[in-house]
Amino acid sequence: MFISRHATTHLALGLHVLGAVLLGGCGNGDEHDPSVVVTAAGPVRGTVDGGQRSFRGLPYAAPPVGPLRWAAPRPVEAWTVVRDATRFATVCPQPVTDATGRPAVLGNEDCLYLNVDAPGDSDRPLPVLVFLHGGAFRNGGGSDYEAAAFSAKGRAVVVTVNYRLGALGFLAHGSLAAEATDEASGQYGMLDQRYALQWVQQNITAFGGDPGRVTLAGESSGASSVCNHLVSPPAAGLFHRAILQSGACTSPSTSLSQAAAEAAGSTFAQNLGCTANVAACMRGLSAVTVAGASATARVGAGLGWAPAIGGTTLPRASASALRAGDFHKLPVLLGSNREEYRIFVALQELGQSSAISAGQYTGFVNATFGAGAAAVLSAYPLAAYGAPNLAQSALLTDFAFACPTLTTAALFSAQVDTYAYEFDDPTAPTQVPSPFIEQRSYHSAEVQYLFRQPLSAFGFGPLPALSTAQQALSGTMIDYWARFVANGDPNGAGLPGWDRHLLPNGAVQRLGQGAIGPVGTFGADHNCSFWAGFGV
């Protein structure tokens, strides 16, 4: 069985020198060639398909190699000859499991590239969507998403981004912190994301985009990244709306305390044999060695990699800042999926080649919730679900996704326009075929309704095409997202109405086949009054 980079994740966010940005050719003999765009660093040639243009593998920062490993991103070296931009660049180094079940590393350290999809027939600047991929800050890449269909239907410029991952992106260590001035270590991937937003401000006009209408969006750890930029002072003005898909700002996985991150970084370095001249020692190791070791690194209560809190970039955790009202005030669209955790349970069960047993379920609850375990087992009794895997999926969906989303949305809605949803299509094409559990509206299921994903992100082959009914839901969702990107409001002609601030009253906009509209039982459906007693 082959399980790709996302599966291995789940079983454990200096400008360029400003240059001319022009539409048209650059020394190619045709000043009206729509496939050529001049960026601040040099000209690039993408592809044109009908009225749609695509540009792949655009460098937005210098390769973070050698002395630039574990350093803030630097400007890319300019070029004059038209650069090929017809193919995706490599993803950043990340641990995977190969076809034989052995650990491996995918990607290359020279990975700070982004991709642009843009309509080529607009006579006015179009809104911009910058999408940050998920993968628990350890896996994924901008090339996971084909955004041409969204761009064409939504009349928007779409940017997908690679950023450093795992230890290469989020290693915190005292020796690295000593090299910085006003920043903490352990934020390199987040700095990459901000640098990409700066690239957008500088270059997106050349692709037909409006730098004054940029939406920062993300799914899973990509959504957690958006949370961090919402509370990051240097990110002010780089984006104007935010979309959070299955990643709540009140989740502890959004960021790590500096103390916890540096303690984990010290252990990580020691495990790699670096106990003296640590920064130099670790830079002397191959990217494969560092990324491979990222696979099993853990911090605190089972957390993996995440940005470390500290310095000017992330002075406080997003949850703390949000509760204090200290965040960039802009419209927010956010939500979760009806059965988020079923896919993680499916992966666990495939890994052990059997369904979760009653003993495993009880043992998990006792180990996770300690003194509160009896109350949790009473609220999620096996008898109410019919199978241990369904009970565990419901419990963790509510605890880790649905109720934190409720809390996050309530905090946002007190100060900004907030639109909350629940994706609920129980027939969503599955990423992980499993004989043990039906995954229904699982974590990441909604992404394929927005962006084309020809292959399972979990390494299980091609995904089936959306059915006619699923395509209709996909069209509505793209329309909602595109209108929000354009105006900060998902409503528009021909769409079911979506009210602001539903979640504080326990209601969300249900996104399902033939059933789109407000549902007032979200909090009750996910037992959020119970989890409030746990501080969720």
Amino acid at 118: A
3-class DSSP assignment, residue 413: helix
CA atoms of 110 and 92, how far apart (whole Å): 7
Q: Are 211 and 130 in contact (CB under 8 A)?
A: no
What Rg, from alpha-carbon coordinates, does the chain have? 22
CA atoms of 263 and 270, how far apart (whole Å): 11
CA atoms of 96 and 462, how far apart (whole Å): 18
Dihedral sign (CA 371, 374, 379, 380) = positive
CA 365 remoteness from chain centre: 28
Dihedral sign (CA 518, 521, 525, 531) = positive
Q: Are 6 and 135 in contact (CB under 8 A)?
A: yes
Tell how strand 22-23 and strand 36-38 pair up.
antiparallel
DSSP strands (E only) in 27-80: 36-38, 43-45, 47-49, 52-59
Q: How many Cα atoms sit within 13 Å of 69 on the Cβ side?
A: 23
Catalytic residues: 220, 340, 443
DSSP 398: I
Q: Are 163 and 112 in contact (CB under 8 A)?
A: yes
Angle, helices 221-230 vs 188-203, to 10°: value is 70
